[in-house]
Amino acid sequence: MNRQQTVLVTGGAGYVGAVLVPRLLDEGYRVRVLDLYIYGAAALAGVRGHAALEEIQGDLRDQELVRRAVAGVQAVIHLACISNDPSVELDAELSRTINFEAFGPLVRLAKEAGVGRFIFASSGSVYGVSDAPEVTEEHPLVPVSIYNRYKAQCEPVLFEHQAAQFTTVSIRPATICGYSPRQRLDLTVNILTNHAVNAGKITVFGGRQMRPNLHIQDMVDLYLLLLRAPTEQVAGQVFNAGYQNVSVAETAEVVRRVVGQALPERRSVEIVTTPSDDIRSYRITSEKIRRTLGFVPRRTIEDGARDLVAAFQAGRLPDPMTDSRYYNVRLMKATGLR
């Protein structure tokens, strides 16, 4: 894809979008963002006013707005959704309309507008629970939540539209970690780091569950790679995208070590384990994307934790234990979105 072309990023003011959009601009792309901005507009404050950035505030379910948003666009990176299980389960009907029902019209309108490439952010959690040592893209999808189920159901809708002039690709990312201008502190590594730094104690729910992880900067690197990859390598393809498969308990130990090294006053962070009804446990392999596109993540859980410690120290994340802006489910309750 020519870097002078325009990329539409739906959900561009979200956790990943707030890192992706500035990077796309730095790489010379023109960027159009479509977002409800329910988490606020501050996430893109650092690039607001950029000559190559256009921001559209609106609802993905508004098909006339979507029609305008995809006009003149060469690629779509679709990030927008009600994200994470608790947020989705607050209002299953709302989540169905945004995460699933709006998806088909978005894809169809993009194709009709002459968009050449559509990249869908699915989820590694579509595999649900698996004891398999290496979960590949061919593994059965057994989603155990509404959020996972809608992600899984979107993929065949997308691939129905695959065509010579409309390249479709789905990414199933691991749990993302690290710092973003639209910070989330409700993701595993981020939760544990926040509590270690700001409470001096980590609570692990369960602990034996396996989770794949991926640093947010590696996720952004991958989206850039998918924009540029030859059509024959990605058309109609599904790719896992993860790095370290680590249990929640092991992740807590990593975070405790990183925080203790960075902050002498937190060298003895306590880890408390408590039962959990969260049964999601799986390990994904990203061998296919390494083999096909040469994508190998370069950043670790430790890097994600260090980034967050630095952000806390610099005062970039004020009131991290109480401010609702860092927690999707709290914000969803406050917005009253319908």
pLDDT given at position 179: 98
**How far apart, in Å, are the Cα atoms of 304 and each of 119, 203, 211, 315?**
25, 19, 15, 17
Cβ atoms of 79 and 12 within 8 Å: the answer is: yes
pLDDT, tens digit, for every residue of 40-60? 899 999 999 999 999 999 999
Q: Where are the alpha helices (DSSP H) in the chain?
A: 17-26, 63-70, 85-90, 92-95, 103-112, 146-159, 188-198, 216-228, 231-234, 248-262, 287-293, 301-313, 328-335
What's the mean pLDDT in 141-157? 93
pLDDT given at position 3: 58
pLDDT at 2 over 70: no
What's the mean pLDDT in 269-284? 88
pLDDT given at position 217: 98
pLDDT given at position 139: 94
Instruction: Give dist(CA 63, CA 80) in Å, integer.
Output: 15
Instruction: Give dist(CA 268, CA 97) in Å, integer.
Output: 46
Of 161-165, 188-192, 259-263, 330-334, where does mean pLDDT reach its minimum? 330-334
Structural domain count of the chain: 1
> What is the CB-side half-sphere exposure of residue 306 using CA atoms within 13 A?
9
What's the mean pLDDT in 315-321? 97
Instruction: Give dist(CA 99, CA 101) in Å, integer.
Output: 6
pLDDT, tens digit, for every residue of 7-21? 999 999 999 999 999
What's the mean pLDDT in 137-149? 91
pLDDT given at position 191: 97
Q: Is 166 helix (H, G, I), strand (E, B) or coil?
A: strand
Containing domain of residue 212, as a range?
6-335
Percent of the chain with pLDDT over 70: 99
pLDDT given at position 199: 97
Structure tokens at 49: 């006013």
Give a yes or no: residue 32 inside a domain.
yes
Structure tokens at 152: 């899984």
pLDDT given at position 193: 98
Residue 6, φ and ψ in degrees, nearest 5: -105, 135
DSSP string, 87-147: HHHH-HHHHIIIIIITHHHHHHHHHHTT--EEEEE--GGGG-B---SSB-TTSPP---SHH
pLDDT, tens digit, for every residue of 158-169? 999 999 999 999
Question: What is the CATH classification number for the domain harbouring 195?
Answer: 3.40.50.720
pLDDT given at position 86: 80
Helix 248-262 with 301-313: angle, nearest 10 deg: 40
Give a yes or no: residue 97 inside a domain.
yes
Give residue 84's pLDDT band: very low, low, confident or very high (50, 70, 90).
confident
CA nearest neighbour of 253 among 186, 198, 202, 180: 202
Give a yes or no: residue 67 inside a domain.
yes
Give residue 88's pLDDT band: very low, low, confident or very high (50, 70, 90).
confident
CA nearest neighbour of 48 among 166, 170, 181, 154: 181
Q: Model-level pTM?
A: 0.96
pLDDT given at position 1: 58
Give residue 131's pLDDT band: very low, low, confident or very high (50, 70, 90).
confident
**List of residues 6+ apart from 319 with CB closer than 8 A:** none
pLDDT given at position 277: 82
pLDDT given at position 36: 95
Give a yes or no: residue 290 inside a domain.
yes
Cβ atoms of 44 and 31 within 8 Å: the answer is: no
CA 180 centroid distance within chain: 11
Give a yes or no: residue 270 inside a domain.
yes
Residue 285, φ and ψ in degrees, nearest 5: -105, 140
Residue 168, φ and ψ in degrees, nearest 5: -115, 140
Structure tokens at 303: 């890097």
Give a yes or no: residue 1 inside a domain.
no
Average pLDDT, the chain: 95
What's the mean pLDDT in 236-257? 97
Cβ atoms of 203 and 276 within 8 Å: the answer is: no
